[in-house]
Amino acid sequence: MGWGQSLGLATALVLVGSVAGAASSGVNGFVPVAIEGAPGEGTVVVEPGDHLWKISEAELARRLGRSAGPDEVAPYWLTVIDANRDSLHSGDPDLIYPGELITLPAPSLGGG
């Protein structure tokens, strides 16, 4: 099944692995999938205005219990890009769409 095609609920369940419903074709043919409930640990659903740096920064802050500086975010951001590159609709980590599911690998928090 290609992107931009309408999905039935059964197909969305198979593709997403969760209770989901698909809207009709959205931006650039992307089919946004609304997932009922919160995403699983280690994943986040892209919201309008999100980008991978922002998502990476927020995840590090959540795990550290404090703000993360750019020198901490940069290596984790690259890890998030690598973990998601093959599953991004656009194939471009600078172009993510609302509704995409982003995998958040465990960060390497070093000695602290």
CATH number, domain of 69, equals 3.10.350.10
Please list the residues that pair with 73 across neighbouring strands.
none
7 and 54 inside one domain: no
Total domains present in the chain: 2
- Cα of first residue to Cα of last residue in the chain, in angstroms, is 45
pLDDT band per the 50, 70, 90 thresholds, residue 110: low
**Residues of the chain with pLDDT > 90: what percent?**
56
Spatial distance between the Cα atoms of 27 and 79, rounded to a whole number of angstroms:
27
**Domain containing 69: what range?**
38-112
Mean pLDDT of 79-102: 94
56 to 4, 35, 74: CA distances (angstroms): 27, 21, 9
pTM of the full structure: 0.64
What's the pLDDT score for residue 22? Answer: 42
What's the pLDDT score for residue 107? Answer: 87
